[in-house]
Amino acid sequence: MEAACTAEAEQQLDSFAAYLAHGRGYSTHTVRNYVSDLRQFFCYLESKDRNLTPASADYYEVRGFLASRFKANTSASLARKLSALRTFYHFLAREGKASANPASLLPTPKREQQLPTFLSVDNVFRVMEAPGKDSFRDLRDRAMLEVLYASGLRVSELVGLNRPDIQFDLQVLRVWGKGRKERIVPFGGKAKDALQAYLQKREELLRSKSPESSSRVVEQGPLFLNRSGGRLTTRSVARRLDFHLRRLGLPVQASPHALRHSFATHLLDGGADLRAIQELLGHSSLSTTQKYVHLSLDRLMEVYDRTHPRARRSGRVRPLRAGR
């Protein structure tokens, strides 16, 4: 449970949260994490000196705070806390309440290299076919899984879709990504069929909940609904995917994000350009997309070790055929 800050500090955090959400377009998830990180920083300063404030803190206090969290947090969490502090001091300078950014002097902690989890093409196909084709829930699950894999969406982007965001004639989706950045992504024929089948059940559900629903109500609002007619949550998507994975006997650690990773990896294996994949995923930096190159290289080396006659790492040398 987070410790409480002073009333003045809480007011400052509220102003910062509003700045992140409306001024910078940060997601609710990021805003919540940044505010939590700063609340820890405020409490740390108060434990050192009750008269110490973020505006009067210097490089050594910021470094001391991060050092105090070293054992309790991963390098990724520490990097996020430093990012929160840098953004907060930028906010204070903008408000005229700080003249320097002591967090900018600290190097970003090096993150552990973690290759993303993905599913093979065969297993993805099994997952796509797992839901039934009759009930509202089955058709919704089939549509959302097809869209996740067809367009490489983040799960937050999936549940944020509204009915007008689909253009069936062009087979594209209008997606709002991180920082409220808009992008247009395509979807294939399988996803189109699944969406059209689901939309019929979606209309039936909306009209059953509100018989007087107008066509405008049906054509607006959230795309993916729960059985009560409300917007589906990211947690519900994760639960439904987990349900289908368990039924198939596939790895349950595969999250909805694994379908996004599978989308990128399979495109790269099929010869897609890395820049194109970057655009489709909505990555602001190509370096974020390049992790998929490592996945392909790992598999390439496995094939090399298994098939090349002179691959020493395989532990054996295959005999050459006569005539070579």
Quick one: pLDDT at residue 1?
A: 42
Q: In this predicted structure, what is the pLDDT of residue 66?
A: 92
Q: What is the pLDDT of residue 201?
A: 94
Catalytic residue among 80, 140, 154, 266: 154
Q: Is 260 a catalytic residue?
A: yes
Closest CA to 194 of 255, 245, 248, 151: 151
Structure tokens at 232: 């589906």
pLDDT the model gives residue 180? 74
Choosing from 140, 260, 261, 266, which is the catalytic residue?
Answer: 260
User: How high is the pLDDT of residue 319?
Assistant: 44
Per-residue model confidence (pLDDT) at position 324: 40
Residue 257 confidence (pLDDT): 85
318 is catalytic: no
Q: Domains plus CATH for the chain?
A: 7-105 (1.10.150.130), 123-253 (1.10.443.10)
Question: Is 178 an annotated catalytic residue?
Answer: yes
Active-site hit among 48, 90, 207, 283: 283
This prediction's pTM: 0.64
Active site residue 292: yes
Count helices and strands (H / E) in the chain.
14, 3
Contact between 250 and 127 under an 8 Å Cβ cutoff? The reply is yes
d(CA 25, CA 2) in angstroms, rounded, equals 25
Q: What is the mean pLDDT of each run of 10 residues along the chain (324 residues)?
A: 64 90 83 92 86 86 92 87 93 87 85 69 93 93 95 91 94 85 89 95 86 69 92 93 91 81 85 80 69 60 63 47 42
- Residue 205's φ and ψ, nearest 5 degrees, are -65, -45
